[in-house]
Amino acid sequence: MEAADWDARYAQSELVWGAPPNSTVVEHVYGMERGITLRPDTPGGELPEHPRALDLACGEGRNTLWLATHGWQVDAVDYSQVGIDKGRTVATRLSRSVRSRIGWHCADVTDLAAAGITGPYELVLMVFLHLPAEQRRTVLRYVADLLAPEGTLLILGHDSINLTEGYGGPQDPSILFTPGDIAADLGPAADRIRIRHADRVHRPTEGRDAIDALVLATRPAPESAVEPA
């Protein structure tokens, strides 16, 4: 779908995806901010107050808003201006301190450099972002380089077998993927990122379960320098 198609879809109802965050995101991200060793990268070597997250294809911002309320500084990116505007509207119900932690960006996720999106990030979400395989590989490898040491990349989307064994989701097999596809996409970046979880997730729906592909990857911390004897 093009940006105009998503604009039209988001304009038709209050919230297409509902207000609560994705349950799989919550399961794997909840409490993560408390275990992060923050980077001393601010002027004067002071620690930043909040870890940074990037939410790709944020839509109406349900995951972005949840992250911000849990202490994350979030860059939210989507090419639907209507979706971004709806996210901003929902954010007005939250405190000023939470709103101040969100940067909304109407931009193409396949050209994040042009949008001024720069790391490092302690968390990158790529949730239900479905692209043709070559574009997906390009985006994945780009955002892998945006991760801070020990940062996490979470990819979640409709699995290829959802077409025949699951329910709902896109019906174009060329934009679906498996956990193995994501592992292969990230293969050339193996020296910079390590996959620590890759599996299928069954998600209850009004019909039979939908089947999602989930991959969690982490950028290793640099090895400590060894003082010469």
With respect to residue 14, please indicate whether it lies within any of the assigned structural domains. no
- How many whole angstroms separate alpha carbon 118 and alpha carbon 54? 10
With respect to residue 163, please indicate whether it lies within any of the assigned structural domains. yes
With respect to residue 220, please indicate whether it lies within any of the assigned structural domains. no
User: For the whole model, what pTM was predicted?
Assistant: 0.87
Q: Which of 13-17, 113-117, 187-191, 208-212 has the highest mean pLDDT?
A: 208-212
With respect to residue 121, please indicate whether it lies within any of the assigned structural domains. yes
Contact indicator for 148, 219 with CB cutoff of 8 Å:
yes
Domain CATH code at residue 168: 3.40.50.150
CA neighbor of 25 nearest in space, from 127, 163, 143? 127
pLDDT, average across residues 19-26: 89
Determine the structural domain holding residue 197 and report its residue range: 3-9+50-213
Q: What's the whole-number average pLDDT of the chain?
A: 87
With respect to residue 24, please indicate whether it lies within any of the assigned structural domains. no
Nearest 5°: phi and psi at 119?
-90, -160
Number of domains in the chain: 1
pLDDT digits (tens, 9 = 90+) for 137-191: 999 999 999 999 999 999 999 999 999 999 999 999 999 999 999 999 999 888 8
- How many whole angstroms separate alpha carbon 94 and alpha carbon 129? 26
With respect to residue 173, please indicate whether it lies within any of the assigned structural domains. yes
Contact indicator for 200, 176 with CB cutoff of 8 Å:
no
Residue in this structure with the two tokens 């193995």, named with its chain if needed:
180
With respect to residue 108, please indicate whether it lies within any of the assigned structural domains. yes
With respect to residue 27, please indicate whether it lies within any of the assigned structural domains. no
CA neighbor of 78 nearest in space, from 98, 54, 51? 54
